[in-house]
A and B are shown apart, each in its own frame.
Chain A
Amino acid sequence: DAMVIQNPRYQVTQFGKPVTLSCSQTLNHNVMYWYQQKSSQAPKLLFHYYDKDFNNEADTPDNFQSRRPNTSFCFLDIRSPGLGDAAMYLCATSRGGGLETQYFGPGTRLLVL
């Protein structure tokens, strides 16, 4: 059974049109992460939630926002997508940070036209 679920798997949006990607988890993990991965590159952490506490990476553009309404769900909002935002967006969870292993979802591939 899928433990970290991302919908949709593929998303097409227009330049400047807001888009929301979603992630849900059945693991009851405390921490949820959002990564951006461009072609042939390693995943780059955008931000994460430890429970309700939001932690933004210093170099994450303001264009990217996140919401975590409850333990199971986390959303990535891109307010005004640019062509450079086309990428695979990966959601991951871990039980509690520290030594905890991160479990990744299948990703959402975003295409910006």
Chain B
Amino acid sequence: TQLLEQSPQFLSIQEGENLTVYCNSSSVFSSLQWYRQEPGEGPVLLVTVVTGGEVKKLKRLTFQFGDARKDSSLHITAAQPGDTGLYLCAGCYGGSQGNLIFGKGTKLSVKP
């Protein structure tokens, strides 16, 4: 059974601080997706990483896929209150169906 461990589960920081969220697994994923979800809404895709060692940047967000494609990280620089939300990583283990395994999520609160 593939599992995706996401940490930390909760994070409360002040505006301007940096933070990193981690997703780790013992399984190899064909791709990994990061989503951000606000209360009462569906997850919104931030990025998909596919290649081992890949780094993608989205403004103040930096996403990295581990060389072995078993882990990933999301780093936010100079967090803002608008970054508040639930961050979910989801690993795809391929196959024809492309089912995702979700981490439990990181609930981020950025205080002004």
Which of these, B35, B45, B98, B104, contacts A99 with CB under 8 Å? B98
Encode contact with B along A77-113: 1 for CB under 8 Å, 0 otherwise: 0000000000010101010111111111111010000
The answer, yes or no, to whether B80 is at the interface (CB within 8 Å) is no
The interface residues of chain A lying within 8 Å CB-to-CB of B100 are 45, 102
Chain A: interface size category: 20 to 34
Determine if A48 and B41 form an interchain contact, defined as CB atoms under 8 angstroms apart: no
Please provide the chain B residues from 4 to 44 with a CB less than 8 Å away from any CB of chain A in the complex.
30-31, 33, 35, 40-44
Please provide the chain B residues from 82 to 112 with a CB less than 8 Å away from any CB of chain A in the complex.
88, 90, 92, 94-100, 102-105, 107
Interface residues of B, dominant DSSP: loop
The answer, yes or no, to whether A43 is at the interface (CB within 8 Å) is yes
Which of these, A4, A40, A48, A106, contacts B99 with CB under 8 Å? A48
The answer, yes or no, to whether A50 is at the interface (CB within 8 Å) is yes
Which of these, A40, A45, A99, A105, contacts B42 with CB under 8 Å? A105
Determine if B92 and A99 form an interchain contact, defined as CB atoms under 8 angstroms apart: yes
Determine if B96 and A50 form an interchain contact, defined as CB atoms under 8 angstroms apart: yes
Counting chain A CB atoms within 10 Å of each CB, the highest count among B30, B44, B100, B104 belongs to: B100
> Told that A99-B31, A102-B33 touch, could you supply 8 new A-B pairs with CB distance under 8 A?
A42-B103, A90-B43, A92-B42, A94-B98, A97-B98, A98-B94, A99-B30, A101-B48
Determine if B35 and A104 form an interchain contact, defined as CB atoms under 8 angstroms apart: yes
